[in-house]
Amino acid sequence: MTTINANPDAVLDTHASSDNYLTHSRGFLSWALTLDHKRIGVMYLVGVLTSFLVGGIFALLLRTELLTPGATITADANTYNQWFTLHGAIMVFLVIIPSIPAAMGNFVLPIMLGAKDVAFPRLNLFSFWLWVGGALFAVFSLWRGAFDTGWTFYVPYSTTTEMGGVVPVVVGVFILGFSSIFTGMNFVVTIHKLRPPGMTWFRMPLFLWAIYSTALIQVLATPVLAITLLLLIVERTIGIGIFTPSLGGDPVLFQHFFWFYSHPAVYIMILPGMGIISELFAVHSHRHIFGYRFIAYSSVAIAIFSFLVWGHHMFVSGQSVLINTIFSAISFSVAIPSAVKVFNWTATLYKGNISLTTPMFYALSFLVLFTIGGLTGIHLATLNTDVHLHDTYFVVAHFHYVMMGSALIAMIGGLHHWWPKMTGRMYNETLGSLACIIIFVGFNITFFTQFMLGSHGMPRRYYDYKPEYQSYHVISTIGSYVMASGFLLTAWCLLSSIWLGRRAPANPWGGRSLEWQCPSPPPHDNFPVQPRVGDCYDFSCVVWKEEEQGYIVDRSLDPELNPNAPKRAGAH
Amino acid sequence: MSSITAEPASHGHAGAHDAHGHGAHGEHAHDPTLAHHFESHAQQFDSAKLGMWLFLATEVLFFGGLFVAYAVLRNRFPEVFSYASHYLDTTMGGVNTAVLIVSSLTMALAVRFAQVGKKGAMLLCLWLTLAGAAGFMVIKYFEYEHKIHAHLVWGTTFYVPPEGHTGAEESKALAAAPEPSAAGVTVADPTAPALPVLAALPAVDAPAIKPAARAPAGLATTHEMARAEGIKEHVSREQTEHQEKLHLEDRKLPPNTHLFFAVYYAMTGLHGVHVVVGGFMLAWLIWRGMRGDFGPKYYTPVDVGGLYWHIVDLVWIFLFPLFYLIH
């Protein structure tokens, strides 16, 4: 890769032309069979957000049912069981896991590298269609009689329940797993082999570090889920016996297998979110990210820890005291890299030139919600409190703070951050910020009350409850309606911008990484030649340009790209 | 990934190509073997190779789950594994091991011949590798066939007395039957143990009963129960040496012996699926090779396909001693 010398242009060509990735070719097949990572990313985004809508509707049904003890909108507890199972399975497997890596990562990652595409474009398209196939199996399972196992498919219930939809949905999740594996492989190879000249490992945007760590987990953890689900299928269909206690099999072995994937999977959800937040804080406070190396290393550290803590899901499943103690101690230590990130983000804000944009609102929301979600994780990693809190609403609130309040909020923040790049349009900032505040308030009303519910002993997954819990349930349900209205407002804000929004400049926020140095929306090939890069968090060469109503990256000001650039004091 | 050692010639070529300023991607339109988003053949080759190594890592973890299941169950029931492994045919397993190792050699030679541009030798080696894959599956088929015939299988079917072909059919029905519906349970074979009991119970309890129905005889007194069911009449003396004593007749039969066969079929079955996939991959390589796609400049598919074939071989190298050799 010695072909490209320092780019002679002071500013890369960012003028939007009529030929961009959206207009490059037309017709259904030009999308369905596209190898363009940007189109695949957009298709994932549509799929993920549609699934989010469906999963959200199930969530609202659940909360509405819980307004009163006993029957509220359905008299059948089994229907309720199906709702929470569908809510969980859709949100985990169809929404959060593919949301940031597959949707945002696909769109942004190759552009950040200045590459024309990911390393294996065909495999990338195949991953997308696997995702669609997995989703169709999930729908098919509803037709076959649905399922009520919870998203965890614990044996022996999942192998004995009468519901006919278990095998189809497990096949669906198996397929989704391979979609995730292939995406991860693609990203690891792309980051290893397609980095542009000048971008060493410690010059990568932190989003790429996060995606890289995530991809490693996807590649190494998901196959274990695949084999577990395969065994579950043969257990249910031909009674192979490995997990069935009456045949001498071991149901706790299933739990070990399942969590060996599914604990790392929660880091598949949160790590890319952390990567987005690193970008948002740096770009929207126009300040060099604080502690770059620490944030990068902490992503890798979290990825490594993620493989060593699965046992904390099974503190009450009959593990030995020694094993419980070890898993508890390792689970505590996850707090270290997580806190390293939080402190570095806060330090980035300090003395930053903060723009209170919509993405910044989401980043700040993330900071609060992730801190709460992370700290309550400590309660659950503590052995004696966990015995009390296990399978209560405390756990429900904790993982919603992390999976929704953190991972999904980061994803929506990133969506606002890159929306102008994806669509070429600016949304209404006031509306976007307002929606973020409504979601933030609604989220806390919904889930903070559930910490109270849980510590008072309300078990999760229950259709009915004692009347003394009702006030909390009512508050929580009202919060969920507030949150839903916030999401509807967000949807309106973004979708209306496609028709009503003003044209987006190439660099509306003042970003420095390569995706802000190509037109909005990007052309089919992203960059004619892979550009040389400098420090992507050095914002001193990012200058506002009035006539474009956006920023430009003046490469002649960067001493790395231009030896004659004026020396600056305090440059990183 | 220090695995790229065998092709300095081709890399030198690709590197030279690159250094002469053909970096602009428009140039590559002339070269159908270089995708538009790569700068050079070397970059493309390294990417494909790294991708395949990552895929092999996923395969290791995929099988890893089953190896853990093997370890856990072996630790829990050492007597089962020590007893049941005698039922496996070491000769057939040994021949299959040899077949796979030889096919790995021919695969490695095929890669080498592709690198040096000997198309005929490469195709011959690919054909031989494909023959190895097919031979392995044929031998595996006979192994499975004998065992299934003797009810050396997983789950409750293990305890159904062997009585010729119909017996096997009925036992399948037994294994499949406990999918109780709300309407009740259909009894496929009224003589099958425990099913009449199941049918007599109220339908609402059916889901809870299913595990019990699956293991009607999987208890410590298996052979006595089998006797009581009148199995002795069905004993066939024409079994192989291992099966001369029918397993249900054996007084030393440990409880839960079916678990050995559960793990055996799960692991060798999944491995067999990989061999079949490898066979299709080899056929595809042969087809492309005959078309003349591969040469010293471009042999990436042969190389990464070879990597896949070696891991399939390697998994078997672990399966063979774990099941056949150690007792």
> What's the pLDDT at A568?
59
Domain co-membership, B74 together with B211 = no
The partner residue sitting opposite A3, judged by closest CB among B18, B57, B181, is B18
d(CA A96, CA A102): 10
Domain co-membership, B49 together with B129 = yes
Place of tokens 């099999």: A249
The partner residue sitting opposite B154, judged by closest CB among A181, A241, A529, is A241
Q: Cβ-count burial of B194 within 10 angstroms (0-12 exposed, 13-18 middle, 19+ buried)?
A: middle
8 Å CB contact of B262 and A530: no
Domain co-membership, B132 together with B280 = yes
Q: Please report, as a single letter, which amino acid is at residue A384.
A: N
Answer whether residue B99 shows pLDDT above 70: yes
CB atoms within 10 A of CB B120: 9
pLDDT: is B210 or A484 the higher one?
Answer: A484
Answer whether residue A66 shows pLDDT above 50: yes
Domain co-membership, B109 together with B195 = no
Best mutation target among B39, B49, B74 (most A Cβ atoms within 10 Å) is: B39
Residue B188 lies in a domain: yes
d(CA A363, CA A270): 13
8 Å CB contact of A119 and B54: no
pLDDT confidence bin for A379, thresholds 50/70/90: very high
d(CA B196, CA B156): 15
Best mutation target among B2, B36, B37 (most A Cβ atoms within 10 Å) is: B37
Q: Where are the beta strands (DSSP E) in A175-310?
A: none
Answer whether residue B21 shows pLDDT above 50: no
Q: Are A184 and A203 in contact (CB under 8 A)?
A: no
Tell me the longest C-alpha to C-alpha distance in chain A. Answer: 78
Alpha helix ranges (H) inside A96-204: 97-98, 106-112, 121-143, 157-160, 166-193
pLDDT confidence bin for A419, thresholds 50/70/90: very high
User: Residue A340: which of A300, A282, A288 has the closest Cα?
Assistant: A300
The architecture (CATH level 2) of A28-557 comes to Up-down Bundle (1.20)
Domain co-membership, B220 together with B282 = no
Domain co-membership, B181 together with B163 = yes
> What's the pLDDT at B245?
45
CB atoms within 10 A of CB A494: 24
Residue B20 lies in a domain: no
DSSP assignment of B90-114 equals HHHHHHHHHHHHHHHHHHHHHHHHH
Tokens read off for A521: 């929306």
8 Å CB contact of A253 and B24: no
Q: Are A138 and A169 in contact (CB under 8 A)?
A: yes
Domain co-membership, B162 together with B73 = no
The shares of helix, strand and coil residues in chain B, as percent rounded to the nearest 5, are 70, 0, 30
pLDDT confidence bin for A547, thresholds 50/70/90: confident
Q: Please report, as a single letter, which amino acid is at residue A212.
A: Y
Domain co-membership, B232 together with B278 = no
Query: For residue B142, what are the CA distances in angstroms to A298, B93, B145, B148?
Result: 53, 11, 5, 10
pLDDT confidence bin for B36, thresholds 50/70/90: confident
Number of domains in chain B: 2
User: Residue A475: which of A453, A499, A503, A505 has the closest Cα?
Assistant: A453
DSSP A560: T
d(CA B319, CA B307): 19
Residue B320 lies in a domain: yes
The partner residue sitting opposite A240, judged by closest CB among B40, B54, B155, is B155
Residue B224 lies in a domain: yes
Domain co-membership, B320 together with B177 = no
User: Residue B3: which of B39, B53, B43 has the closest Cα?
Assistant: B53
Domain co-membership, B165 together with B210 = yes
Residue B48 lies in a domain: yes
CB atoms within 10 A of CB B95: 14
Distance from CA of A562 to the nearest CA of B (A): 22
Which range among A453-467, B11-25, B107-121 shows the weakest confidence by mean pLDDT?
B11-25
Query: For residue B235, what are the CA distances in angstroms to A317, B161, B251?
Result: 44, 8, 15
Nearest chain A residue to B266 by CA distance is A231
For residue B293, what are the domain limits?
Answer: 39-150+260-325
Domain co-membership, B140 together with B52 = yes
Answer whether residue B249 shows pLDDT above 50: yes
Residues of A in contact with B55 (CB under 8 A): 185
* ipTM for the assembly: 0.91
pLDDT tens column, A550-563: 999 988 888 888 87
Query: For residue B284, what are the CA distances in angstroms to B114, B299, B314, B319, B320?
Result: 15, 13, 22, 27, 28
Q: Please report, as a single letter, which amino acid is at residue A17.
A: S
8 Å CB contact of A241 and B214: yes
Domain co-membership, B127 together with B272 = yes
Provide CB contacts within 8 A for A38, sequence distance 6+: A21, A106, A107, A111, A422, A521, A522
Nearest chain B residue to A197 by CA distance is B39
pLDDT tens column, A125-149: 999 999 999 999 998 998 888 889 9
Residue B122 lies in a domain: yes
Residues of A in contact with B258 (CB under 8 A): 241, 247-248
d(CA B56, CA B303): 13
Tokens read off for A398: 């904790």
